[in-house]
Amino acid sequence: MIQATGREAKKVNRGPVFPSFQCPLDPTQLANYTQTYRYDASGNLLQLTHTGTQSHSRTL
């Protein structure tokens, strides 16, 4: 897998470890995101990049 897409909360919740989950989520509070993955020649994951409201990347 080299790319994945989905939806995430627009606002970061830094509350309790297990905040109460509201379902269904309000669609106006969600945003699209894309994650891309980079591997070495042996297939080991080298980097994950998350692009969206809560953008970040990880180098492994």
More confident residue, 17 or 3: 3
pLDDT (tens digit per residue) in 6-17: 999 887 766 556
pLDDT (tens digit per residue) in 9-60: 887 766 556 566 666 678 888 999 999 999 999 999 999 999 999 899 999 9
Residue-by-residue DSSP string for 11-55? S---S-SSPPPPSS--GGGEEEEEEEEEE-TTS-EEEEEEESTT-
Query: pTM for this one?
Result: 0.74
